[in-house]
Amino acid sequence: MKLYHSPKAPNPERVTLFLKAKGKLDAVEIEEISIMQQEHKSEDYRKLSPFAQVPVLVLEDGTCLTESRAICTYLEGIFPEPNLMGADAKEKALIEMWDRRVELMFFMPFAAWFRNSHPAMAALEDPQCEVTAQKSERSARSFVKRLDGHLAENDFIAAGRFSIADITAYVACGFAGVMKWQPHEEFEHIGRWHKRLSDMSFASA
Ligand SMILES: N[C@@H](CCC(=O)N[C@@H](CS)C(=O)NCC(=O)O)C(=O)O
The pairing of beta strand 56-58 with beta strand 64-66: antiparallel
Indicate if ligand 1 lies below 6 Å from the C-beta of 68.
yes
Indicate if ligand 1 lies below 6 Å from the C-beta of 16.
no
57 - beta bridge partners?
Answer: 3, 65
Residues near 7 by beta carbon (within 8 Å), at least 6 away in sequence: 32
Indicate if ligand 1 lies below 6 Å from the C-beta of 54.
yes
Shortest-distance atom of ligand 1 to CA 9: 10
Digits of tens for pLDDT over the chain (205 positions)? 999 999 889 999 999 999 999 999 999 999 999 999 999 999 999 999 999 999 999 999 999 999 999 999 999 999 999 999 999 999 999 999 999 999 999 999 999 999 999 999 999 999 999 999 999 999 999 999 999 999 999 999 999 999 999 999 999 999 999 999 999 999 999 999 999 999 998 998 6
Please give the helix or strand (H or E) that residue 175 lies within, else none: helix 164-176
Ligand 1, atom 1, lies closest to the CA of 67
Residues near 45 by beta carbon (within 8 Å), at least 6 away in sequence: 4, 33, 39, 52
The DSSP call for residue 161 is: B
Q: Distance between CA atoms of 195 and 193, rounded to whole angstroms? A: 5
With CA atoms as reference, report the closest residue to 165 among 86, 92, 98: 98
How far, in Å, from the CA of 164 to the mean position of ligand 1?
18
How far, in Å, from the CA of 51 to the mean position of ligand 1?
9
State the distance between the two ends of the chain, measured CA to CA, in whole angstroms: 22
In one-letter notation, the amino acid at residue 132 is T
Domains recognised in the chain with CATH numbers? 2-78 (3.40.30.10), 89-203 (1.20.1050.10)
Check residue 204 and give its pLDDT.
84
Shortest-distance atom of ligand 1 to CA 115: 16
Ligand 1, atom 12, lies closest to the CA of 53
Shortest-distance atom of ligand 1 to CA 71: 20
How far, in Å, from the CA of 142 to the mean position of ligand 1?
23
